[in-house]
Homo-oligomer: A and B are copies of this chain.
């Protein structure tokens, strides 16, 4: 057990950074995946005037939207508004968004297409993302306790989108490439990993205080294939980051059958999906790594008292060292905002409860 040195009080560090480093806190930080999103009327008002990709690429709009949940609910972290496919477009793939989500009209189906992809300079090709982060740090100067989170998709997840051409139900195209042309897939994954390293280091340089790596489709593979196509590329990304500058959170959706691999990437924090409880994770991967999660996003639709009870139980389970309060999954559009506020307030008011011996 360590305590905060008195001098740190003079240069406050964001609560989320301290949680990532497993400092003992009076309460855990709270934020929510996809907290800047369609469930907020303030967000929808902007989204009505601009399409999704325009919002990502216009720093003023992206900054405005990123800050909306802080203003409305007072989360302990702001995550930049963007999309994991932004660097994929920079690699040379056409990218659109329609009502069903992302659409890549010329998906990767050949080795020649893989060879034609570039490893883009993130400042030159995605400078707008870095601009968003710089502006957010400026805006957050008056909130030194609030952390700024950057993010990227992990190589396997980005490859899945690049090969499927969008969100897929059965993932037949990426699996066929995996079975028929594993070497080509490895070349693609390595190229994406190199892109993601540059992209995240540029985000850290631009002011991200924490970065989260999203492997949304990581849970698609059984352990023997996960070990070959998912884990090594998470490891490659983590090994290439300027880690002294910003701790790294790793989120792998559907990770319960491969949980033991996650700490081996070198991540500072494992973000749990809904299938592994905090207690189960502590038993399986130990107490030396911080955890994030994992309130069921559907609990935000429950009666307020039921919700509060679950939040309090999770605060007890998570404790005040090495724990970041979050959901199991991004907030969905229909979520009632009053319950979002209730979650944040309940976590924040837990400081006194946790302080009681």
Chain A interface (Cβ < 8 Å from any Cβ of B)? 170-172, 175-176, 179-180, 219, 222-224, 254, 256-257, 274-277, 280, 296-299, 301-303, 306-307, 310, 332, 334
Contact = CB atoms under 8 A, between A and B. Distances in A.
A298 B296 CA distance: 30
A346 B41 CA distance: 58
Contacts of A298: 170-172, 175-176, 179
A166 to B, nearest CB: 15
User: A179, A276, A332 — which one has the most chain B CB atoms within 10 A of its CB?
Assistant: A179
Number of identical monomers bound together in the oligomeric complex = 2
Nearest to A173: B301
A227 to B, nearest CB: 12
17 contacts: A170-B297, A170-B298, A171-B298, A172-B301, A172-B332, A172-B334, A175-B299, A176-B301, A179-B299, A179-B302, A179-B303, A180-B303, A219-B275, A222-B275, A254-B275, A256-B256, A256-B257
B171 A277 contact: no
A170 to B, nearest CB: 5
A297 to B, nearest CB: 8
A175 B296 contact: yes
Nearest to A303: B180
A300 to B, nearest CB: 9
A193 to B, nearest CB: 24
A180 B176 CA distance: 43
A26 B180 CA distance: 31
Contacts of A224: 277
Contacts of A306: 179-180
Contacts of A303: 179-180
A170 B332 CA distance: 8
A222 to B, nearest CB: 5
A277 B221 CA distance: 11
A345 to B, nearest CB: 19
Contacts of A176: 298, 301-302
Contacts of A276: 222, 257
Contacts of A175: 296, 298-299, 301
Nearest to A335: B172
A257 B258 CA distance: 10
10 shortest A-B CB distances, which residue pairs?
A: A175-B298, A179-B302, A256-B257, A176-B301, A257-B275, A179-B306, A172-B298, A180-B303, A222-B275, A172-B301
A172 B297 CA distance: 9
Contacts of A280: 223
A177 to B, nearest CB: 10
Nearest to A224: B277
Nearest to A297: B170
